[in-house]
């Protein structure tokens, strides 16, 4: 089964800074704007890239869930593409 | 003019990140995919030595390219979900923008884009059965700007970004990439300008995978030996699966350059596993 919408959310966390800011304060609201299954939402809430990869997302997109983790918020990686 | 210079170089972000805190950030993020991958974290001294060694390798490539006095540099790289996403993934893409820009941490990049050369490649492709995608806007990312920082820090000549899909299954075969390289050489032969070409990426690495931290140095050394012997043609029947198994999918970018140089032997090769994730490779062909 396609995980297009899940991938799209993570792509937006890479490319759309306003989406990132919104997700940092209202992630449930952001998730509601994508066509996600319950399992996908649970994996996103867990914040573990390995779980997202198991759902079929490209591994390098999975890492972008870490943008929402306080420990990784200022990671230099987000300042390049 | 025939091609006047051909280069290949890794584009790993940590080549351009500063040793120390920036490398730690890079490792912390990547190893979140596989905590065991951090077993071989390099020390600060090792990080600094790797940076120095990479700078030395890039200096050789830059000198070779500058000696060839190119009028344009074709940059063959893969997009990593910046310009293309799962709604549309081109196998090969030629940039027809007037200019191209990008940023990497505090480094900004801006180049004129040689869209006339891009159009010539597109037209030749249409005649020969290689139907490139094309478009008038792209954003440069680390896959181009990390090597460009060292090779073309001042925008003295235009570039021409060409993309190969090495990132989303299914990727093109090495043989197909080789044919694209042959086609580019034919276009260069017909051009009045001096054309240089650079492939970026690789070598062995497993980004975003539980195998992050593994580097298949043996496979990488075999590839470099083939290039030193001028036997790149022997790689056309390599399967994509074999490349993936070795973490060398970005070698598909290199296969375009390998096709463009034909049987020419690489004049310079350098290789250094970065102790983090990637076998850094650097090659120059004097044509």
State ipTM. Answer: 0.96
Please report the pLDDT score of residue B36 as a whole number.
73
Question: Is-contact B187 B125, C-beta < 8 A?
Answer: no
What does the pLDDT look like over B206-248, one tens digit per residue? 999 999 999 999 999 999 999 999 999 999 999 999 999 999 9
What does the pLDDT look like over B170-188, one tens digit per residue? 999 999 999 999 999 999 9
| Residues of chain A neighbouring B104 (CB-CB closer than 8 A) | 79-81
Beta bridge partners of B111: B100
Using the beta-carbon criterion (under 8 Å), do B33 and A49 form an inter-chain contact? yes
Integer Cα distance of B227 and B250 in angstroms: 16
- pTM of this structure: 0.98
Choose among B182, B141, B144: nearest CA to B160.
B144
What does the pLDDT look like over B23-72, one tens digit per residue? 999 999 999 998 776 667 999 999 999 999 999 999 999 999 999 999 99
Please report the pLDDT score of residue A1 as a whole number.
75
Question: Is-contact B144 B161, C-beta < 8 A?
Answer: yes
**Chain A within 8 Å of B167 (Cβ-Cβ)?**
yes
Chosen from B29, B137, B212, B277 to mutate, greatest number of chain A CBs within 10 A: B29
Q: Of all helices (H) and strands (E), which one includes residue B73?
A: strand B72-77
């Amino acid at each position: 089964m396609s995980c297009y919408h899940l991938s799209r959310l993570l792509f937006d966390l890479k490319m759309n800074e306003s989406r990132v800011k919104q997700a940092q304060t209202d992630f449930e609201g952001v998730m509601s704007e994508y066509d996600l299954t319950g399992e996908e939402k649970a994996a996103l809430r867990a914040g573990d890239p390995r779980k997202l990869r198991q759902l079929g997302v490209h591994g390098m997109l999975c890492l972008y869930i870490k943008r929402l983790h306080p420990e990784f918020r200022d990671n230099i990686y987000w300042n390049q593409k | 003019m025939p091609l006047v210079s051909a280069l290949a170089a890794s584009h790993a972000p940590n080549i351009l990140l500063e040793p120390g805190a920036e490398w730690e950030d890079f490792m912390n993020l990547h190893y979140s995919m596989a905590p065991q991958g951090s077993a071989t974290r390099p020390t600060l001294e090792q990080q600094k030595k790797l940076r120095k060694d990479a700078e030395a390798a890039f200096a050789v490539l830059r000198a070779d390219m500058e000696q060839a006095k190119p009028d344009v540099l074709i940059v063959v790289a893969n997009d990593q979900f910046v310009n293309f996403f799962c709604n549309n993934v081109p196998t090969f893409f030629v940039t027809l923008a007037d200019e191209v820009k990008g940023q990497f941490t505090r480094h900004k990049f801006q180049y004129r884009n040689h869209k006339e050369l891009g159009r010539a490649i597109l037209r030749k492709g249409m005649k020969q059965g290689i139907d490139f995608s094309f478009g008038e806007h792209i954003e440069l990312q680390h896959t181009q700007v990390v090597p460009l920082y060292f090779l073309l820090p001042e925008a003295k000549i235009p570039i021409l970004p060409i993309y190969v899909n090495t990132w989303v299954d299914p990727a093109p075969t090495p043989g197909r990439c080789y044919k694209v390289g042959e086609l580019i050489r034919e276009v260069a032969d017909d051009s009045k300008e001096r054309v240089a070409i650079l492939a970026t990426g690789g070598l062995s690495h497993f980004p975003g995978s539980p195998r992050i931290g593994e580097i298949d140095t043996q496979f990488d050394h075999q590839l470099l030996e083939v290039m030193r012997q001028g036997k790149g043609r022997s790689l056309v029947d390599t399967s994509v699966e074999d490349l993936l198994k070795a973490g060398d999918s970005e070698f598909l970018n290199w296969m375009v350059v390998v096709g463009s140089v034909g049987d020419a032997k690489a004049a310079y090769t350098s290789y250094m596993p970065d102790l983090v994730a990637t076998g850094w490779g650097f090659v120059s062909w004097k044509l």
